Structure 1
Amino acid sequence: KKNMKLLVALSIVSIACATQFVPIPGEMEGFSMGPTRTNYTIDVYYDHLCPDSAAAWEGLQKYFHANQYWLRVVIHIFPLPYHTFSFVVSQAGRFIQDNYPDDFISYLQFMFDHRSKYLDTALFWTMQQIKNNIAADASSLSQATFSEVLNALESDSVNNEVRVGWKYGCSRGVSGTPIHFVNGVMVPDATGFTTEQAWAHFFYSLNATKY
């Protein structure tokens, strides 16, 4: 009986310790494109250094540009722990998103196109070299200065924003990238959508089922 009581007590304690409330973001999470009021919103979760995210973005951005008058896309960055430097890359992206939003897509595209630099080459650098390179790249394609980005990489508030965004993704069941939600509903099949045609077929089929 004593052993059973001890086991139950330990289980309760472990559950209590493991239970954490997701912090409420200071504002709506994600980088939004398209009309604020629309029938369809795609929420997408990407990792800056994820090859599958890069492939998914290629098709989605083409479809969005052709249909941006009615389609809203919200990009959430979800740094994966097994991409060693994805978090620090995300910090710079978050700073640009908050302060120079017109340059966020350029930063996203750059990191997708040059992800091997921070997946492979950076493994031989010191953390300071990594931060210097990120600051140099970010400032070269945005209005942000080198020192601004470098300071952002040391900022507790930017660090916390990325963490809150990641926890928000976890609360929605996100565990990898790319993940897509359409009007708040996860669409697992969309992970494999890499072309404009795939999205066109999806929305054609979605609307066809209504009639």
Structure 2
Amino acid sequence: MDFKSMSLGFVTLLCLVWPIVSQSSMPAVPDGFWYGEAAAEEKVLIEAFFDPVCPDSRDSWPPLKQVVDEFASRVRLVVHTFPLPYHDNAFATSRALHITNKLNTSATYHVLEAFFHHQELFYGKATFNKSKAVVTDHIVDFTAKALGSSYHSAIKSGFNDTNTDHATRYAFKYGCLRGVYGTPFFFVNGFPLADAGSAINYKGWRKLLDPLVSKQGRYLQQQLLHSL
């Protein structure tokens, strides 16, 4: 069994045996980064669990973004970070996203895309001989470049803020509680999709969402008629 398989087994074990979190350890707000506005319950809800340095997460984002933008009036999306233990710097880059979201929610997806476009800078091979402090400084600089240089000190301070560490841990624990064991991992209206860990292309998303959106449209029409 290779290291990746062993790590997957470890994540799966965590998902199976992780205890129910106590009330005192629950986050103050629900986890996740909303794409656009978190609105109407009548919309089809897509939940995506991504690792910023996961190639499959990177490849799954463009078609998902395209279909969500097309169905903006009928579909809503929330992304959760799920840093995989066998991806170097997954936790730190995920933490950078939580820091960004705290500073400027409208820029979170821009920073996520920046990590996706330049993942190779944070792979194990690129950072193997660097200390944790040096890598963290590199992530701070990279995030500030994507977010804006005026945020540099706030981003650096964010890595010294235990709240951002806890938020990143909560996101991982939340994924475990939901049964997530790899990335990308998707739920639609609360139901997990098959083929976890594989990117879904545009045609795949359209095949999945078209009938749901049609049913939703008929439901909303019926609700409107009943209200007249």
TM-score by length of 2: 0.78
Which of 178, 184, 187 in structure 1 is aligned with 2:190?
184
Q: Which residue of 1 aligns with 2:138?
A: 133
State the AA in 2 paired with 1:132.
D
Structure 1 stretch 53-62 or stretch 33-42: which is displaced more?
33-42
Q: In 2, are the aligned partners of 1:180 and 1:191 still within 8 Å (CA)?
A: no
State the AA in 2 paired with 1:31.
F
For residues 128 and 190 of structure 1, do their structure 2 counterparts lie closer, same or farther at Cα, with a shift above 3 Å needed?
closer
State the AA in 1 paired with 2:146.
L
For residues 101 and 189 of structure 1, do their structure 2 counterparts lie closer, same or farther at Cα, with a shift above 3 Å needed?
same
User: Does residue 36 of the first structure (1) align with residue 39 of the second (2)?
Assistant: yes
CA positional deviation for 1:68: 1.1
TM-score by length of 1: 0.84
3-state SS of paired residue (1:124) = coil
3-state SS of paired residue (2:107) = helix
Which of 70, 90, 97 in structure 2 is aligned with 1:93?
97
CA positional deviation for 1:189: 4.0
CA positional deviation for 1:96: 0.5
Query: C-alpha offsets along residues 127-151 of structure 1, whole Å, 9 cap, x if unaligned?
Result: 1211111111111111462221122
C-alpha distance in structure 2 between counterparts of 1:201 and 1:165, whole Å: 29
Query: C-alpha offsets along residues 110-168 of structure 1, whole Å, 9 cap, x if unaligned?
Result: 11111111113112211121111111111111146222112211221110111011101
Structure 1 stretch 71-80 or stretch 200-209: which is displaced more?
200-209
User: Does residue 166 of the first structure (1) align with residue 172 of the second (2)?
Assistant: yes
Residues 2-41 of structure 1 correspond to what in structure 2 (within 5 A)? 20-22=19-21, 23-34=25-36, 35-37=38-40, 38-41=42-45
CA positional deviation for 1:39: 3.0
User: How many aligned positions are there?
Assistant: 194
Q: In 2, are the aligned partners of 1:95 and 1:152 still within 8 Å (CA)?
A: yes
CA RMSD for the aligned pairs?
Answer: 2.1
5+ residue gaps, structure 1, are: 1-17
C-alpha distance in structure 2 between counterparts of 1:112 and 1:83, whole Å: 14
Q: In 1, are the aligned partners of 2:32 and 2:78 still within 8 Å (CA)?
A: yes
C-alpha distance in structure 2 between counterparts of 1:198 and 1:85, whole Å: 30
Which of 51, 58, 63 in structure 1 is aligned with 2:67?
63
